[in-house]
Amino acid sequence: MSTSPIREFERSLHRVDATSSVVEPDGFDAALADAVEEPAVGAPLPFEDLSLADHPVALDPSPRELREARTGVTGSRLGIASLGTVAVESRAGGDELTALFPEYHVVVLRSSDVRPDLRSAFAWLADEFDAGRDSLVFETGPSATGDMGALVQGVHGPEAIHVLLVDDE
């Protein structure tokens, strides 16, 4: 059975309790506006043609804004179809903090950056390491704990994740 990696990615995201939507590039602004709940903070997107500039999203936020934001928006250059994983890179714009503090994490990802499985993700990672980009997090579903007697989502990290897939292919 062959399915498109995007379909598989969406299914995997669903399995790990994350939501997703797919948009054409020219629908990006509207889709993001729909996805973001204010107040929001963000890290600059690592894509030339997509930006958070026209959105009510604070870049380089103050600690208070970070703490009080409902939504954190980051861009990702890696999705793993079989797992529902996205990469959160360590960048000067504070992607890691943005992805971690608010209760709701919105991830912007291009469909061409979805790779099939962990093996292919590691191949990508090896190239990234070679290029000196060697700090990042594979994030799969909302932060969770079972330590308090039942599974609870949203501990030190977000309790919900939405992946906005921009169809660039």
d(CA 23, CA 83): 21
Q: Which of 1, 2, 26, 150 binds another protein (CB under 8 A)?
A: 150
# residues contacting another protein (CB under 8 A): 47
The answer for residues whose C-beta is within 8 angstroms of residue 46's C-beta and 6 or more apart is 75, 77, 89, 91
H or E element that contains 148: none
Among the residue ranges 2-10, 29-37, 79-87, 108-116, the one whose residues contact another protein (CB under 8 A): 79-87
Q: How far is the CB of 13 from another protein (least distance, A)?
A: 13
**Distance of alpha carbon 38 from its chain centroid, rounded?**
17
1 counts as binding another protein under rule CB under 8 A? no
d(CA 80, CA 86): 6
Binding-site ranges for another protein (CB under 8 A) = 60-64, 66-67, 82-83, 85, 90-92, 94-97, 100, 118-119, 122, 125-126, 129, 134-152, 154-157
